[in-house]
Amino acid sequence: MHYINTYASPLGGITLASDGEKLTGLWFDGQKYFGAALGGERRFRDLPIFERTGRWLDGYFRGEIPDSIPPLSLAGSPFRRAVWEILLEIPYGEVMTYGEIARRMALRKGLTSMSAQAVGGAVGHNPVSIIVPCHRVVGTNGSLTGYAGGIDKKIGLLALEGVDTGRFFVPEKGTAL
């Protein structure tokens, strides 16, 4: 059983999902892979985890740097979960490239290299947007590609965090435009 609730953000509607105790999903309404972590029956319900996540989001959208995150339960392969752990290490107001994440993954696994494309797939399937900050990942060439919520949301989130988005560019083609 999955429980869902909604949150109205300055960038658009957000749907939250929970297993009843932990946050399992957070998606901008209509984003790519929306609700991918949800299976079976869903019920709309108020839960303490939704209240806690709402407070976190309220502070975040006021420009406050979060000091902790709500409890998460991230469903995915061990590789994806490892990539998401690296995302959680990207500081507020900073960015990291897919290549940097691939190098960190390779180092942690004792490998000489890791595919940045494989990392990109894991980043794109992050089930808890914003809190697991996949919006902080950019292309090595300065491209703002790769945000399942859409480039406009990515730019909005980065700008909210004080990132100079003028140093990046929006690709003409891409999977997340």
- Give me the active site residues, please: 134
Q: In what order do the strands lie in the sheet with 2-9?
A: 23-28, 12-18, 2-9, 42-44
Instruction: Compute CA 150 distance to the chain's CA centroid, rounded to the nearest angstrom.
Output: 12
CB atoms < 10 A from the CB of 99, how many?
15
Query: Given phi > 0 = left and psi -120 to 50 = alpha, else beta, which region is 146?
Result: left
CA dist 161 and 65 (Å) reads 8
Helix (H, G, I), strand (E, B) or coil at 13: strand
Rg (CA), the chain: 16
Residue pair 177/151 in contact (Cβ under 8 Å)? The answer is yes
CA dist 97 and 18 (Å) reads 30
